[in-house]
């Protein structure tokens, strides 16, 4: 496919109508698909032909949206999931079994931390959490013979650590494992991790991609770049016969698409966390304006961050667009057009003052959401990260007074006015 600009892919990617077909992506609200002969259908079950037969495996609406996201990220293929949680779970389960190990950045989304540290641990997959700012040597010490991957977020939610993706890719590859990046906050508009050496990208499409807080969803994108056969002993699920498909070997049959094909035809077949075609349709509507919205989110967030930084009631502000931010340089390298619309900050009065401030906001709503069109606010220590101990909170980069402000795409003066009245009343 010719290489197109991101703005064009947002609009034109995915659905490609043929003569007389609907111009707009149709919602294929059908569980099943019809065939003329038994043999035609049989060949699909053997992966000898490709085609639709049951929506749990593939659906034309879902696939069109997945292919738009794959093109935005510059990958060879993608699979939609019913949530971001399912995306991260499958991304790892696709290369791990009981007894395996993953090295993960510690500052990550609270839900992902629980998934890894509690639920997947119970399944026998072990995680070591590391400080993403540590040196290559330090991070390398966490690797073991049974390590199957390195995981991190481009921009961590909610602590906004900017990842040195090249450093992480180098570490992962020196240990013969893929780098898996959750690119939810940056979106491919601001950062495309494959260009810096990442192998697999995941998304909670619930956030900026949907952008209107309408549909929970996720996505896994495969760069096609990781050479599974070169590390065949580590990844038997991809490089040895799959008994559930008459012994096919994914890397032999699907080449660069081995990983994402296995995720679809094996994990999705067996575990079934698919989005409804209706939700995929809504996601596609969101994607059509992603480039415009992300730009406005970043412009507004920059102005709000500068306002907060200059206000004497504010103890600290974390936004990588501020010149004195610890991650300013890294953000300039990986996200020169802006990072995201999320800012974190604390009030001089500490935890109690932060909570009081939030209760006084009028337009800006307290919601368990980030990264949609409406400005919203959340106190992670009381909400999303409530399950974590004080120690785990600090490890996840969440100070007890941290307020997560998700700057929307309203007029920025109205956003600042609401913050100002809540600070002064």
Q: Which residues bind ligand PLP (CB under 6 A)?
A: 83-85, 88, 109, 111-112, 153, 157, 182, 184-185, 204, 206-207, 216, 218
Beta carbon nearer to ligand PLP, 185 or 194: 185
Q: In this complex, which beta carbon is closest to ligand PLP, that of residue 108 or of residue 265?
A: 108
Q: How far is the CB of 110 from ligand PLP (least distance, A)?
A: 9
265 half-sphere exposure, CB direction, 13 A CA radius? 27
Rounded least distance, CB 108 to ligand PLP, Å = 7
Closer Cβ to ligand PLP, 69 or 238, answer by number:
69
Minimal distance, residue 64 CB to ligand PLP, in Å: 20
Strands 403-406, 179-182: parallel, antiparallel or unpaired by DSSP? unpaired
As measured in angstroms, the least distance from the Cβ of 112 to ligand PLP is: 5
Radius of gyration over alpha carbons of the chain, in Å?
A: 22
Q: How far apart are CA 5 and CA 123, in angstroms?
A: 42
Q: In the bound complex, what is the minimum distance in angstroms from residue 280's beta carbon to ligand PLP?
A: 14
Q: For ligand PLP, which is the closer residue by CB, 112 or 187?
A: 112
**Between 309 and 398, whose beta carbon lies closer to ligand PLP?**
398
Work out how close the CB of 388 gets to ligand PLP at its nearest, in angstroms, rounded to a whole number: 15
Token look-up 């698919």 returns: 274
Nearer to ligand PLP, 201 or 258 (CB): 201
Specify which residues 301 forms β-bridges with: none
- Tell me whether residue 63 or residue 153 sits nearer to ligand PLP (CB atom): 153
* Closest distance of CB 46 from ligand PLP, Å: 33
Residue number of the CB atom closest to ligand PLP: 84
In order, the DSSP letters of 302-341 are HHHHHHHHT-TTEEEEE-TTSTTSTTHHHHHHH-TT---S
Distance in angstroms (rounded) separating the CA atoms of residues 423 and 377: 14
Write down the residue that tokens 């990442």 correspond to: 198
Characterize 127-147 residue by residue with b for buried, 16 or more Cβ atoms within 10 angstroms of its Cβ, and e for exposed: bebbebbeeeeebeebbeeeb
Sign of CA dihedral 163, 342, 84, 221: negative
């Amino acid at each position: 496919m010719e290489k197109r600009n991101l703005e064009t892919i947002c609009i034109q990617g995915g659905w490609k109508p043929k003569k007389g077909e609907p111009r707009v992506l149709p919602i294929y609200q059908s569980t099943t698909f019809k065939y003329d002969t038994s043999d035609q259908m049989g060949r699909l079950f053997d992966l000898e032909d490709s085609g639709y037969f049951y929506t749990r495996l593939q659906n034309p609406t879902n696939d069109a949206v997945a292919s738009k996201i794959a093109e935005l990220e510059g990958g060879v293929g993608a699979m939609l999931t019913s949530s971001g949680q399912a995306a991260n779970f499958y991304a790892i389960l696709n290369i791990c079994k009981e007894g395996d190990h993953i090295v993960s950045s510690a500052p990550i989304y609270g839900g992902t931390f629980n998934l890894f540290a509690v639920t997947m641990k119970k399944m026998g997959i072990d995680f070591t959490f590391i400080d993403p700012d540590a040196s290559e040597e330090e991070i390398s010490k966490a690797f073991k013979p049974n390590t199957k991957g390195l995981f991190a977020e481009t921009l961590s939610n909610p602590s906004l650590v900017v990842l040195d993706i090249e450093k992480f890719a180098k570490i992962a590859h020196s240990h013969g494992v893929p780098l898996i990046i959750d690119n939810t906050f940056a979106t491919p508009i601001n950062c495309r991790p494959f260009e810096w050496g990442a192998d697999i990208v995941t998304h909670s499409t619930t956030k900026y991609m949907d952008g209107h807080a309408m549909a929970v969803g996720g996505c896994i994108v495969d760069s096609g770049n990781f050479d599974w056969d070169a590390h065949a002993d580590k990844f038997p699920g991809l490089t040895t016969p799959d008994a559930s498909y008459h012994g096919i070997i994914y890397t032999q049959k699907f080449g660069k698409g081995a990983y994402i094909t296995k995720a679809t035809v094996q994990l999705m077949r067996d575990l079934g966390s698919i989005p409804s075609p209706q939700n995929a349709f809504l996601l596609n509507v969101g994607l059509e304006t992603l480039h415009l919205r992300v730009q406005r989110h970043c412009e507004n967030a920059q102005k709000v961050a500068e306002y907060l930084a200059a206000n004497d009631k504010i103890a600290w502000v974390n936004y990588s667009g501020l010149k004195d931010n610890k991650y300013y340089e890294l953000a300039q390298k990986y996200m020169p057009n802006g990072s995201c619309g999320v800012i974190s900050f604390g009030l001089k009065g500490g935890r109690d003052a932060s909570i009081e401030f939030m209760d006084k906001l009028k337009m800006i709503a307290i919601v368990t959401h980030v990264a949609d069109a409406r400005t919203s606010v959340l106190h992670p220590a009381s909400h999303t990260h409530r399950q974590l101990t004080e120690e785990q909170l600090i490890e996840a980069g969440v100070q007890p007074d941290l307020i997560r402000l998700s700057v929307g795409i309203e007029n920025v003066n109205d956003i600042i006015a609401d913050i100002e009245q809540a600070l002064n009343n």
